[in-house]
Structure formats: C-alpha cells, structure tokens
Structure 1
C-alpha cells in the first residue's frame, strides 16, 4: 500500500490549503466514480455537481476498467450490499489500484452485521491510497473494537473513535475522517478537530454519504487527507441550517451552499484545531 502520510501544518496553512483545494476542484471538475447505495445516489451526485466535480454512478464490471483510467478517484459506499455488489466493489478497487487512483471507503453500518464488517475490512485491505470516512461506531467496528450501533446510526461519540482511527491509519496506511457532532481528520502525522456543522444534519438521510462523495472529489485533485471536504461540508451545513425551517429545506440549502461557498465564508466560519501532531 502507498503511504499517504501528510506533512505537518498549522491552522493558518491548513485553512489556506482548504481554500486552494476548493478552487482546484471548481477549476478541474474532476470525474469521480461512485459505487454507492440506492438511497443516496441522487443526493451524492448533486452534491458533487454543486461543489464543481463531475460524478458518474457506475456499477458494471464491463466498463469499470475504462472508467478508472479516466477518473480522478473511486468512491465506494457499502450502504446497500449484496454478493453481486461486493464483487463489483472488489473489482473496482483492483482497477483503481492498477491506475494509481485514490479510493474513498464509506463502511456504512460496519459493526451492524458480519457481512458489512467483513466486506468493509476486505475492501480496506485491498485498497491502496485509501481514505476511510465513517461515523464513530463504524470506525470503531472497522478497527476491530466493540462499538455501539443501531443499524447505520452511530451511538458512539467521535472522541471515543480516535484510538480506532489511529489503528486504521497504521493498519491500512490510510487517512481517516470521523464524522459526528465533532469531526476529526486523522493522518499519520496529525489529528485535526473540526467543530462546525449543525445538529439538524443527522435528520437528513445520506449526509455522511454526501461527505464521502465530496471527499472523493478533493482526493481526485490530490487533497487526500479528507480535511478540505470535511471542513467545507460542515461549514455549508452550518450556514444552510440557519436558513432552513427543517430537514427538507436543509437538504436543498446544503446543495445551494456547496455551489455558493466562498473563501471568505471558510475563513470566517472554520472552527478548526490541530490537537495532535
């Protein structure tokens, strides 16, 4: 596996890097291949379009080799699993590795069933240049620890998943994003805490799945820590919630917010701290 360790940066440099990454995504419009679940395909495609990327929701083995040659990254979301999808996901990972493309894995519901846990671990072990994005319970379960989960919902706090995330960084040479009330980005060199977002976001299905897809867009232009996507998405959610009467309008306003988010808003809103390096 590749070693995705990141250089150590201070908060000011990290903020500048986030803003620069956003500009690159909008300029380059990277193609992001998504193997994702039926529930969120429309949401995640729209999120990618709004941020400036180009999504393709492809699942066929017959075209995957071609797609991975021209794409910037591969996003795999295991939300709606069956044996056929698992085989497609494994083949897609092989093709991404062969073309040296970053892979973003969302281990949806890892820990809720043997199938999900085994599939997530198998895909993580196969992947080179890996970014893992999950909630705290999924990260804990993926690392082989005991988590508290209810289906695909986390019952653990982000803080409790930090040790598990560090285990995954070492085991899979991956970068790890823990999503929750507080978000963490964990790499081999740094742990970064983000306190943006809004308590209404978990009331819309696929919020984490959209973040996973956006992580793929930024990985496609070389930002493989997961930080830029996590920071921008949380800020957008925070702004959108201020304009929303409830979850339905929040979903719409997040799409608009991704399209409209500016460097000035990032600088003004970002609540970030480097907590370990």
Structure 2
C-alpha cells in the first residue's frame, strides 16, 4: 500500500503550510518544511486567519506556548479552514500537563474538525481520558494500550491519530500501522515532534488519504533521522540537528523504501 511517493508530491507541489505554532520551534519547523520542499508560513494574527485559510493547503495548530490571543486565532483559523475545505492538523503539546491546556484542546476539538492529531502517548491518553502520568510536554509514563488510545481518539473525533514514540502508531479508527524506525537522538532535540506534525501536514496536503499520508510521513521522517545519525562523527544532539535538516533536504523515496519498518493491520484486537 505504501509506495512513499507522497514525498515526491510534496516536492512537486510545494504545499503552503500555515503554522500557528509555538515560539520554541517556529524556526526549526519552518526550515524543516523548506528542506522537504514545502512552503511554510508562520502566522498567528487573528486578523488574517480568514484570508490565510483560503490560501493555505493545510493548517497546523500547535499549542506549545499558549496565550488567549493565540487561542482565538487558532479557533478562527480552524473554523475558516473547515469552511474552505483545508485539512487541519493538531499538535496538542503537553495537553495533560495543565487544566488550561486541557480546556483549550477540548474547545478546539469541539469547534474544529481535525484531519489528524499528532502527539506523544501521554498527550493522546489525555485526550482519550485514559490514566497517564504527564511529565510536562514529554510523554511521561502510563499503562494504557497505545493502540486502544489511538483507536478511541480516532473514532471519537473522526480523525487520523499519530502517536509518536520509539514505535510510532497511526490509526484512522479502522486501519492501524506501526513504524519502528527513528534515531535515539530525535528526543534529544527540542521540537522534533512539532516538526513531525508539520511534515505530516505537508504530506496530508498533497495526499487524499490522510492515513496513508501520515504513515508515509512518519516513515520518511524516522528513516531520515537514522541516516542523519549514521553520518555523524559525534553522536551528540548539537551535531545531529543540522545533519538531520540536511538529511531531510537530500531525502529520497528509495532510501525510505529500503529501510522503513512498517507493520500494518486492518483492525485492533
């Protein structure tokens, strides 16, 4: 099912990815999108959200650094994107960490139809209402089954769920896939998950099947990180960051096909 040609579609079409994101990761997310051939716009003024919804090929909402004005802009942008038929991706950063974040995400889910939601296991567990010990914006620890969490959130909100971790889990509620790739250095650089959300958005923008787009995005991203680590003389995060950006820029479909470890199933039992 997965031919990994979505990356080539991104490079061919150069989708405009509207990011309402956090101040920690905006630069890295923009550069990462440019590296894969997408066209980022980082804009959060509520006054221009309606216009941008008509221009953008996808909207990516990231709640990493919240304030009231930003939340208002997110809601306006999300609703306008829904009206325009533009796909919307949510990255619920640290949603389980504070009551304010939980409230904001609940409001966003109630007002906006999301095409995909990408986060770590702790964040998706919080959305699913499953017990999990949050650790700030990190995944934390919990015993709930990740596949069950993915299925529950996907079906409740009619969306594709992407749960990042040592093994990524992707589901649309009826189809499931696991991607068992990725460098151990990825969690050691801030914003690697946020960039993945943006990359997933760019793939979704050019591929009608959001589940397929998400699986191919996760696999391409993870395998690229493995190649970046191989090229390093010193296996350290400061060296890894620019090497990973270069790996994304020089990435090929053939490399993903050769190394991707994907397990797919039609149902979760």
Q: TM-score range by the shorter chain?
A: over 0.9
User: Which 4+ residue blocks in structure 1 deviate beyond 6 angstroms?
Assistant: none
User: Which 10-residue stretch deviates more, 105-114 or 127-136?
Assistant: 127-136
Alignment partner of 1:227 is 2:212: no
2:254 maps to 1:264 = yes
Indicate the residue corresponding to 2:35 in structure 1. 50
Aligned runs of 1:140-179 on 2, under 5 Å? 140-156=125-141, 160-179=145-164
- What residue in structure 2 maps to residue 243 of structure 1? 231
1:253 has 2:253 as partner: no
Residue aligning to 2:46 = 61
- Residues of 1 paired with 2:110 and 2:141: CA distance? 24
**How high is the TM-score relative to the length of structure 1?**
0.91
2:79 maps to which residue?
94
Judging changes above 3 Å, is the alpha-carbon distance between structure 1 residues 35 and 238 closer, same or farther for their aligned structure 2 residues? same
RMSD of the alignment, in Å? Answer: 1.4
Unaligned 5+ segments in structure 2 are none
Name the CA distance, whole Å, in 1 between partners of 2:253 and 2:166. 23
Q: What's the offset of the Cα at 1:25? A: 0.4
Deviations 1:47-96 (A, max 9, x none): 10000000000101111111110110000000001111111111111111
Which runs of 5 or more residues in structure 1 are unaligned?
Answer: 1-12
- 1:104-115 → structure 2 map (5 Å cutoff): 104-115=89-100
> 1:194-213, aligned counterparts within 5 Å?
194-213=179-198
Deviation at 1:129, TM superposition (A): 4.5
Write the distance in 2 (CA, Å) between the matches of 1:158 and 1:236. 30
Within 5 A, what are the aligned runs for 1:67-78? Answer: 67-78=52-63
The verdict on how the C-alpha distance between 1:158 and 1:252 changes in structure 2, with shifts beyond 3 A counting, is farther
1:80-139 residue CA offsets vs partner (Å, 9 max, x unmatched): 011111111111111111101111000000110011112112212322242000000000
- Separation in 1 of the partners of 2:146 and 2:75? 26
| Aligned-residue offset at 1:275 | 3.7
Q: Do the aligned partners of residues 129 and 138 (structure 1) sit closer, same or farther apart at CA in structure 2, a change above 3 Å counting? A: closer
Q: Provide the rounded CA distance (Å) in 2 between the counterparts of 1:218 and 1:101.
A: 13
Task: Note the C-alpha offset of 1:186.
Answer: 0.8
Out of 177-186 and 61-70, give the one that drifted further.
61-70
